[in-house]
Structure 1
Amino acid sequence: MVVSKKGLWGVTGGLIVLTGMVLNGLESMQMANANSLENQAAPLLVAQRRQPLTIVFPTRSDSTDLQNKANKVATFLSKELGIPVKAQIGDDTAAVEALRANRADVAFLSSRPALKAEQLANARLHLAEVRANYSGRYTYDSIFVVPNNSPFRTRNTAKATLEQLRGRSMAFTSPTSGSGFIFPVSELVKQGFVPNRDRLDGFFGKISYGGNYSKALEAVVRGQADVAVVSEYALYPPYLSAEDRSKVRVLHKISGVPAHGIVIDDDVPVILREKLINALLKLNKPENNQLLTSLYNSTQLVRVDHTRHLKPVSEALKNAGFEP
């Protein structure tokens, strides 16, 4: 039996007393009897929750006035669930730490922090974001970007294409970026150019880190780097202006980068978790969709399997030589 990190989640209703410890220990039984529990226990469970449900919304370059927008989503979810919902703002690292330290129950996270949240807090990703500019609906491409007048050309194979970059200057996004470092390095390892992330200088003549998509792309636009790696959606505002977009092109792409999503801590009881997921899915409805799109420009949320969705980033991390 697993003891809840946050303590007891009480439900007292005559003959029924459910604690968080029992809920966690009997999760499989709850799932098998979901309909019955939903009808009998769910209203009591939600009504008796002792503290607000706290959701962390990480800051991102393409989101402005985030606290106000997150507060509106929290208000919507509070009405749907019948309990207080609190919105907090912080980066991915702060969100994972909040889950670990039991200061948050839910967080919007990118793929690598979602894996870290599983490792540190036993949280799992249940929903993924869909964007209009994602090639794979809820997966997207990591792209190698070069100037329009670059002598490099896309060849018949990835190996032949990337071989042209030997000895050249590379602008990565950051050492922690999925599409701007982890997936490109994994590709270089798979093609046999480098053994791991620590030996990149054996292939590239110069390596720099922009710190974000815009600055990595700016290095290419200004002639400070021969190539940059970013997410496919970084070719559009607010990351790259229309004028600068006309100055660059995609040399090579890596498909299947997992989209950002929503992780829920394991201390949230099954019934409440399902009610929360269903409430979040209501943001897909036309009358509510602006609340979702205003956050991070995603148009829809879809259910995903945590392990299956994050498998590509797990494999890329392993290829690149990161610790599990």
Structure 2
Amino acid sequence: MAKGIPKQKNLLVVAALVVAIVAAALYLLQPTSPTSPPSPSPATTPSPVNRPEKIVVVVNPIPRDRVAKEATELEEFLERRLGVDVEIFFPLNVAAIIEALRFGHAHVALGVGSLPAALALSVADVELSLVEVREVIIDNKPVEAPYYYSYWIVLKDAPYRSLEELRGKKACFPSELSTSGYIFPMYRLVQLGFLKPPADPKQFFGEVVFAGGYAQCWEALKQGHVDVTIMAGDVPARLYWEAMNNSKILEQQGPMPSHVVLVSKKLPPEFKQRLKEALLELNQRQDLMRKFVSAIFVRFEERKAEEHLGPLIKALEETGLKERYLR
């Protein structure tokens, strides 16, 4: 698999992704099941259409040995519905998913986050087929939606009443590659006039920490290592409620788009439609899809890429970060 990845200003991030992509490329060569498809039963044999001999599906990075049985079940379901051999692969990271799509090593990607999806749409010959409706928390209420929000929080007994009072203080972000944990929070700071494009949190905060996840940032806030952090409405409910019950919200940002399904444009139109119908049929197998796309998956639904990813593109443009993250 080729090694090209999105350009980043941070050379250490770029170097790390290059190493990950090389490893993932080797990993992708290992199938999860035999390559010859089982014979479909007469009742489910698809009518003849122009179709490929085999399609490769990549999913969000998860240990494949944990879902080997379910992977086989999903492969066999798709093979019966599509009449072709289907192989599921588990890349080591999101960058490898993008590269697999970009260089034609994969035809379908499930559970792709909005930022890597936007990048894939800009560098690979793919289109957005479906979006995820998920169980998220908005305004402290569980809802089913294809979007969600994130929140700036401080400890409940902290003296701060607004983000403006946190100028020069310590802030924790999950990752520079997080839509809800970094890009949209930067967008909110720009909207409030605290940052100018290209947005850099160091323009406002005295110290910035990237802890690697929401749980790590919450722990840093609890321990007093930072003064403010971000919490999102799509994290595990236990983490969300622990954080929200012991903190106060200063600002919120969103709506932010949920995960998506990407499909190669090179697949025949009739076959892409059949694939979409098969995936929509999986809405009846929520238990199975929660293994592969999201633990809070509810269903797939159709939305246009411009409508779904529009808020993200606008955030990238107005923060001056679009060139950094998208080509």
Q: TM-score, length-normalised on structure 1? A: 0.76
Evaluate the alpha carbon distance shift between residue 254 and residue 104 of structure 1 in structure 2; reply closer, same or farther with a 3 A threshold: same
**In structure 2, what is the equivalent of residue 275 of structure 1?**
274
CA contact (8 A) 2:166 2:205 kept: yes
**In structure 1, what is the equivalent of residue 287 of structure 2?**
290
Q: Map 1:159-308; keep pairs closer than 5 Å.
A: 161-197=162-198, 199-234=200-235, 236-237=237-238, 240=239, 246-285=245-284, 288-295=285-292, 296-297=294-295, 298-308=297-307
Cα displacement (A) at 1:68: 4.3
CA contact (8 A) 1:55 1:105 kept: yes
Evaluate the alpha carbon distance shift between residue 316 and residue 284 of structure 1 in structure 2; reply closer, same or farther with a 3 A threshold: same
Q: TM-score, length-normalised on structure 2? A: 0.75
**Structure 1 consecutive aligned stretches of length 4 or more whose deviation exceeds 6 Å:** none
Q: Distance in 2 between matches of 1:250 and 1:235?
A: 18
CA contact (8 A) 2:152 2:250 kept: yes
Q: Distance in 1 between matches of 2:72 and 2:151?
A: 34
Q: Map 1:116-195; keep pairs closer than 5 Å.
A: 116-135=119-138, 137-153=145-161, 161-195=162-196
Cα displacement (A) at 1:132: 1.7
Q: Distance in 2 between matches of 1:121 and 1:94?
A: 13
Q: Distance in 2 between matches of 1:231 and 1:317?
A: 18
What letter matches 2:225 in structure 1?
Q
CA contact (8 A) 1:67 1:87 kept: no
Question: The residue matched to 2:249 in structure 1 has which SS?
Answer: strand
- Equivalent residue for 1:114, pick from 90, 113, 117: 117
Q: Distance in 1 between matches of 2:170 and 2:72?
A: 43
Cα displacement (A) at 1:241: 8.0
Question: The residue matched to 1:128 in structure 2 has which SS?
Answer: strand
CA contact (8 A) 1:128 1:303 kept: yes
**In structure 2, what is the equivalent of residue 6 of structure 1?**
none
Q: Distance in 1 between matches of 2:67 and 2:314?
A: 32
What letter matches 1:183 in structure 2?
F
Q: Distance in 1 between matches of 2:105 and 2:89?
A: 10
Cα displacement (A) at 1:88: 0.8
Cα displacement (A) at 1:178: 0.3
Any idea what the Cα deviations from partners look like across 1:249-298, whole Å, max 9, x if unmatched?
4332112100001011111111111111111111112xx22212333120
Question: The residue matched to 2:225 in structure 1 has which SS?
Answer: coil
Q: Distance in 2 between matches of 1:232 and 1:289?
A: 20
Q: Distance in 2 between matches of 1:281 and 1:186?
A: 34
CA contact (8 A) 2:76 2:86 kept: yes
Cα displacement (A) at 1:67: 4.8
Question: The residue matched to 1:311 in structure 2 has which SS?
Answer: helix
Evaluate the alpha carbon distance shift between residue 179 and residue 60 of structure 1 in structure 2; reply closer, same or farther with a 3 A threshold: farther
What percent of counterpart residues are identical? Answer: 29
Q: Distance in 1 between matches of 2:95 and 2:200?
A: 26
Q: Distance in 2 between matches of 1:101 and 1:92?
A: 15
Q: Map 1:44-59; keep pairs closer than 5 Å.
A: 44-45=48-49, 49-50=52-53, 52-59=54-61
Q: Distance in 2 between matches of 1:169 and 1:235?
A: 25
What letter matches 2:168 in structure 1?
G
CA contact (8 A) 2:184 2:254 kept: no
Computed over aligned residues only, the root mean square deviation of the Cα atoms, in angstroms, reads 2.4
**In structure 2, what is the equivalent of residue 27 of structure 1?**
none
What letter matches 2:113 in structure 1?
S
CA contact (8 A) 2:232 2:240 kept: no
Q: Distance in 2 between matches of 1:134 and 1:262?
A: 22
Q: Distance in 1 between matches of 2:280 and 2:58?
A: 17
CA contact (8 A) 1:170 1:208 kept: yes
CA contact (8 A) 1:67 1:88 kept: no
Question: The residue matched to 2:90 in structure 1 has which SS?
Answer: strand
Cα displacement (A) at 1:310: 0.4
Cα displacement (A) at 1:219: 1.2
Cα displacement (A) at 1:114: 0.9
Q: Distance in 2 between matches of 1:64 and 1:314?
A: 36
Evaluate the alpha carbon distance shift between residue 269 and residue 172 of structure 1 in structure 2; reply closer, same or farther with a 3 A threshold: same
What letter matches 2:119 in structure 1?
K
- Equivalent residue for 2:47, pick from 43, 54, 62: 43
Q: Map 1:54-133; keep pairs closer than 5 Å.
A: 54-59=56-61, 65-90=66-91, 91-108=93-110, 109-133=112-136
